[in-house]
Amino acid sequence: MPYIRISDCASVLDWGCGCGRALRYLLEDVPASHVHGCDIDADAIAWMTQSIAGPSFTRIAPLPPTRYADQSFDLVYGISIFTHLNEATQIQWLGELRRITKPGGIVAVSVLGESFASGELQDAMRDKGFADVISGQSGTFAAYSSADYYRVTYHSSRYIAAQWSQYFEILELIPQGINAHQDLVIMRPKPGAGSSKEAPAIRG
């Protein structure tokens, strides 16, 4: 069901925009001046700034807060970002995404579902609904964060319902909704929920 018309958005953030693989298509529907991109990769942000005229690009730190003002965006999306964060880091980012999204705005992000978790992670997925391991690509991003920042992370739908609902109303979870691979989670900020500075305790 439609939650928001992209063409009606006055401000859209590509959280973790990289080299613009999604953002460049967004420009077909949203004026460039309404589009913002951010990433921890300084080289990607420099390239985007030089190569794509109109949007605003910002390098962000591996951990929040960002420099964006409260309630800045009608729509925030992040493709293959929560698939690479450990639990403590993602909880901080959930608070930050809630902070910078307007009331009634939409946050849409992708996750790797539990069916993709390897055999050695099945106990964790069964018990908690969440598991992560260091990615083989972590060294590539060490210059922007740390050697163990970049993970391969898996979420179950029940984990998202229990944990992410502390910050967001979970509107829909679409299995393999991104490229028939990653699950798509569509959310709306909860008023007065936690921020990136005050994360609620993680319930196991």
Q: What is the pLDDT of residues 95-117, one digit of tens each?
A: 999 999 999 999 999 999 998 99
Q: Which residue has the higher pLDDT, 96 or 201?
A: 96
Q: Which residue has the higher pLDDT, 180 or 165?
A: 165
Strand partners, 132: 153
pLDDT at 199 over 60: no
pLDDT at 82 over 70: yes
pLDDT at 151 over 60: yes
Q: Which two three-digit tokens encode residue 147?
A: 């050697």
> Mean pLDDT across the chain, nearest whole number?
92
Q: Give the other-Cβ count within 10 Å of 60's Cβ.
A: 19
Instruction: Report the pLDDT value the prediction gives residue 141, as an integer from 0 to 100.
Output: 77
Rounded distance between C-alpha atoms, residue 99 and residue 127, angstroms: 30
Mean pLDDT score, 1-27: 93
Mean pLDDT score, 12-38: 97
Mean pLDDT score, 168-193: 92
Q: Strand (E) positions, the chain?
A: 12-15, 35-39, 56-59, 73-78, 101-113, 130-134, 151-155, 168-178, 182-189
Mean pLDDT score, 66-76: 98
pTM for this model (two decimals):
0.91
Mean pLDDT score, 173-181: 93
pLDDT at 202 over 80: no
pLDDT at 169 over 90: yes
Q: Which CATH homologous superfamily contains domain 9-113+156-189?
A: Vaccinia Virus protein VP39 (3.40.50.150)
Position 1 confidence tier, pLDDT thresholds 50, 70, 90: low
Instruction: Report the pLDDT value the prediction gives residue 155, as an integer from 0 to 100.
Output: 97
Using alpha carbons, list the distances in angstroms from residue 162 to 11, 116, 155, 158, 186.
29, 20, 11, 6, 15
